[in-house]
A and B are shown apart, each in its own frame.
Chain A
Amino acid sequence: MEYFADRDRLSRGEATVLDRVNGSLTRINEHQDLNAFLHVDSEGSRQRAAESDERFASGLPRPLEGMTLAVKDNISVVGQPMTCASAILKGFRPVYTATSVERLLDAGAIVLGKTNLDEFAMGSSNETSAFGPVLHPIDPLRVPGGSSGGSAVAVAADLCDVALGSETGGSVRQPAAFCGIYGLKPTYGRISRYGLTAFASSLDQIGVFSKTVADMRAVFDVVSGHDPFDSTSVVPPSPRQRTDGPLRIGILPPETLAPCDDSIRRAHDDVVEQFRRSGATIEVVTIPHADIWIPTYFILATAEASSNLARFDGIRYGLRVPEDEAEGDIITASRTAGFGKEVKRRIMLGTYVLSSGSYDAYYRKAQKARRLIADAYTSIYESVDFVVMPTTPTTAFLRGGITDPVTMWLSDYFTVSANIAGIPALSVPVGHDAQGLPIGMQIQGPMFSEELIFDLAERMAAQQ
């Protein structure tokens, strides 16, 4: 579904928000097998739809009036449960609404429901959800990507206009690429994290899924901006302007692209060729330390996760194993029962890298590596406007196809560096492989360059 494709008709009264919402609710119902939604708020959505129709009728619609929105179930929305796809939060109902959702609601959007994810956003395939995997909309035997798989599928399968996801190492861009839609990871700090259940605070960002750049841009305009409730949210210094002269595109050297499937590699070369033909200069850039992107990311992310997930202790909310049933204390018993395998794996890894004997060898080193990667990006953007690279090394893989956790982590190969450096990146759908599975290319830009990335993505769309 594309919101702005329908907006004029809604304005003219030729279509109603209620019809669109009812259509969505019907499709959600028909596609329950996809397991994209963990909670659907039919009643509330219809109510808000009626209000939106009144606003259209009165001629005073808000910027996103009646836009249908799905929200990843690790983002707080009052009135709907929040599980983070974990047994430990079963039955939890948040008492406040995330700033990003609040802003969308204020702009007239309608939250249809909460979408499935890898447990606590830890996964790349949506197989770690405590409530079952999300299926790929084209091939049910394949994964939709993760961790924001439910949100990606909700948009890809036309269950809603747009969806919020969250990224720590590629959790929006990777499923967007697998599902053939747009997926944005903004500059760190541009969208408030208040209300996003933290996985790795210094890497986490709320991201957006859409079918069009226009919808993406409109949502981003509404949700971005400083939030006094998030000390890490930023005010962009000033809108970034396009540099003079022809567009300068940076691409990765062949050895860095080596892990890619042939189909991905061909799609990449086609996109680059298109840029070249349209007058852009192409420059091979080296983002150093490609071999340590993943280790750096996993050290930082798991360290922070081990601390962020400590609050789930069965004391104040969520699952509690009662004292008389607990072997040992309530906290240990509740966490043992409530967390899934991948979450436990990452908590243990994170606990290890922060422990007094390992801190210097792992965590401190990873912090240094992070600075190197960020600095490298800064200098790269002195010579190019954007860096274009595949979003993923492969297209959507088979469910259960990757059982080794490290191999699974490697599917984030192209995405983690943007999170480590804090720069924005957009995954753009660019075609399909031989099996008809979508391929995504990502455009990475310097800090605060979202608007320019959208411009470029629009030009790419126009050329296709």
Chain B
Amino acid sequence: MLELYEAVIGLEVHAQLLTSSKAFCSCPTEYGAEPNVNVCPICLGHPGALPVLNERVVEFAVRMGLATNCSIRERSGFSRKNYFYPDLPKGYQISQYEDPICYGGYVEIEVENDVRRIGITRIHMEEDSGKSVHDLDIDTLVDLNRSGVPLIEIVSEPDIRTAREASLYLQQVRQILVYLDICNGNLEEGSMRCDANVSVRRKGATAFGTKTEVKNLNSFRNVEKAIEFEIQRQVSLLEAGGTVVQETRMWDAGAGETKIMRTKEGAADYRYFPEPDLGDVVIDDEWKESIRLSLPELGLAKKRRFMAEYGLPAYDAGILADDSEVAAFYEATVVATRDTTHETCKLVSNWIMTDILRIMGDRKVGINETGISAVQLASLVSAVRSGAISSKVAKDIFPDLVGSGRLADDIIAERGLRQESDTTVLKGLVAEVLANNPDNLEKYRNGKTNLLGFFVGQVLKASGGTANPGVVTALMKEALDGTGS
């Protein structure tokens, strides 16, 4: 029955901005400080304290807007969203309501071999609330370090059709935020938060079904699973003759299901009205253009360029371009090899995607903290490409490069690992091996040609592992069959 329906999904993403001070006061935004130390009368909501907007917040919002193809409103303003909660010091959140700073953009995602455009309805600026800590035996505790930390909320159009697309969209948004250096994109720590609006309708229908809002999606996996669950739940309801109720639901990752939080009737009336303590946010063209010029090449563009320029497969290009530091490391390595043949480019990619990403994963570090530099990796790749060492030797000495700062050539020379490709030397070894194995030679000549591997192996062994396997194979074949290759 699922195939009779299609889902209509929109995501609301909150991203904590990497400004050094809060949105409306000069308190630091650092994460993980002792509770209630990064506070002042303004973010504590003391009587008479007034907000003053941090210009950086506006700049970051505009960056995101331009990077997602949004229009930037020349004049926008803040509103108050009023509700009571112990960790909301002023009893209202300063947000944008009627005139968000960015609107009408889109993000491209690649689904299978298709490019899908997901519309961005709006991006607006707002402040974060504090944090209530409930999971203690004693009373609820409130930490206001986070109160007033700047956020942008990125609201998508209901253009997403599957849980997989939702996850890809979220990954794309995260990648852009991180590329722009305006958010660290950490879903688990909550510096990026996501809510999903989900409804289903019969395929071919144009009207929207009743939607539910799903909260607490703190990983890409959970986004996918929660939406998947919610689609199934709604379809089952409809199939059983029921109706979907507009409500807010909470994803329970442990139970693997969404649970009801509140219904529409229980929803607060936020009584938005223009924030009288702040003036309008005015963005002139000159500033907007200077921000536009400062935008970096984004992940998707980089991926496409890597494919065209380096001949990389989409898979490689996608992984390398996902992290701007990895991408930069990749390009630096290619440059250091002074060889832009597609073979070399692919070899560099292989090394990064396997050995280096493994170190990053194991040690939870960035690519610039793995202990191996682009120049070192390039020396290793060049040694393989020039035939100085085999791929196997390269794998063997890779650990010696990590943390040592040494170049591959240095280690190869010191340990005498240079691959022997000299045909005169190798012909001698070939002859020697054939002479020592008359029985097998006889068998080979009688048709057991798969003994070629045995002979090559014997030569490699006799060389102490330094013989170039390619050259040995060619020579051995020549010796056995009287032909070159």
Contact = CB atoms under 8 A, between A and B. Distances in A.
- Does B bind A? yes
* Residue from the set B44, B92, B142, B273 with the largest chain A CB neighbour count within 10 Å: B273
A310 B48 contact: no
B80 interface: yes
Given A231-B52, A232-B277, A304-B276, A354 B46 contact: no
* Residue from the set B45, B47, B50 with the largest chain A CB neighbour count within 10 Å: B47
Contacts of B45: 311, 316
A94 B271 contact: no
B307 to A, nearest CB: 49
Nearest to B278: A231
Contacts of A202: 276
B48 A194 contact: yes
A229 B41 CA distance: 12
Given A94-B47, A231-B53, A310 B84 contact: yes
A82 interface: yes
A313 B46 CA distance: 11
Nearest to B51: A231
Contacts of A197: 47-48
Contacts of A201: 276-277
A230 B48 contact: no
Interface residues of B, number: 29
A307 B53 contact: no
Nearest to B271: A354
Interface residues of A, number: 46
Contacts of A82: 47
A231 B279 contact: yes
B280 to A, nearest CB: 10
Contacts of B442: none
A77 to B, nearest CB: 11
A109 interface: no
Contacts of B273: 303-304, 307, 354, 359, 363
Given A94-B48, A232-B276, A310 B92 contact: yes
B308 interface: no
B111 interface: no
Interface string A70-100: 0000111000001010000100101110100
B463 interface: no
Contacts of B90: 310-311
Given A303-B273, A310-B91, A310-B92, A315 B86 contact: yes
* Residue from the set B50, B89, B92, B278 with the largest chain A CB neighbour count within 10 Å: B50
Interface string A274-314: 00000000000000000000000000000110110111110
A317 interface: yes
Contacts of A229: 50, 52
Nearest to B92: A307
B229 to A, nearest CB: 32
A338 to B, nearest CB: 13
A315 to B, nearest CB: 5
B70 to A, nearest CB: 25
Interface in A143-184: none
* Secondary structure dominating the interface of B: loop
B82 interface: yes
Contacts of A354: 82, 271-273
Contacts of A313: 84, 86, 91
Nearest to A352: B271
B414 interface: no
* Secondary structure dominating the interface of A: loop
Interface in B257-294: 269, 271-273, 276-279
Interface in A337-362: 351, 354-356, 359
Given A307-B92, A354-B273, A315 B50 contact: no
A243 B46 CA distance: 44
A331 B44 CA distance: 16
Contacts of B80: 307
Given A76-B47, A311-B89, A228 B271 contact: no
Contacts of B396: none
Nearest to B80: A307
B133 interface: no
A101 to B, nearest CB: 11
A95 B139 CA distance: 26
A84 B47 contact: yes
B81 to A, nearest CB: 10
A196 interface: yes
B144 to A, nearest CB: 8
Interface string A446-463: 000000000000000000
Given A316-B45, A331-B84, A351-B271, A230 B91 contact: no
Contact of A89 (B47, B53, B82, B277): B47
Interface in B366-417: none
A317 B279 CA distance: 29
Contact of A307 (B47, B82, B89): B82
Contacts of B278: 231-232
A269 interface: no
Nearest to B39: A316
Nearest to A97: B48
Nearest to A331: B84
A231 B50 contact: yes
Given A76-B47, A231-B53, A316-B45, A311 B91 contact: yes
B335 interface: no
Interface string B54-94: 00000000000000000000000000101010100111100
Nearest to B36: A316
Contacts of A351: 271
A391 to B, nearest CB: 25
B277 to A, nearest CB: 5
Contacts of A96: 41, 46, 49
B91 A307 contact: yes
A355 B273 CA distance: 10
Nearest to A233: B50
Contacts of B82: 306-307, 310, 354
A88 B68 CA distance: 47
* Residue from the set A84, A98, A231 with the largest chain B CB neighbour count within 10 Å: A231
Contact of B139 (A195, A306, A323): A323
Contacts of A312: 47
A92 B41 CA distance: 13
A95 B48 CA distance: 11
Interface string A193-230: 11111101110000000000000000000000000111
A232 B279 contact: yes
A230 B51 CA distance: 7
A299 to B, nearest CB: 11
Contacts of A311: 45-47, 89-91
A306 B84 CA distance: 12
Contacts of B272: 354
Question: Which 9 pairs show the lowest CB-CB distances between chains A and B?
Answer: A310-B91, A202-B276, A354-B271, A201-B276, A197-B47, A311-B45, A195-B48, A311-B90, A197-B48
Interface of A: 74-76, 82, 84, 89, 92, 94-96, 98, 193-198, 200-202, 228-232, 303-304, 306-307, 309-313, 315-317, 323, 330-331, 351, 354-356, 359, 363
Given A232-B278, A317-B46, 10 more contacts: A196-B48, A198-B47, A230-B50, A304-B273, A310-B92, A311-B47, A312-B47, A315-B86, A316-B44, A356-B269
14 contacts: A84-B47, A96-B46, A96-B49, A197-B48, A201-B277, A231-B51, A304-B276, A307-B80, A311-B45, A311-B90, A311-B91, A351-B271, A354-B271, A355-B269
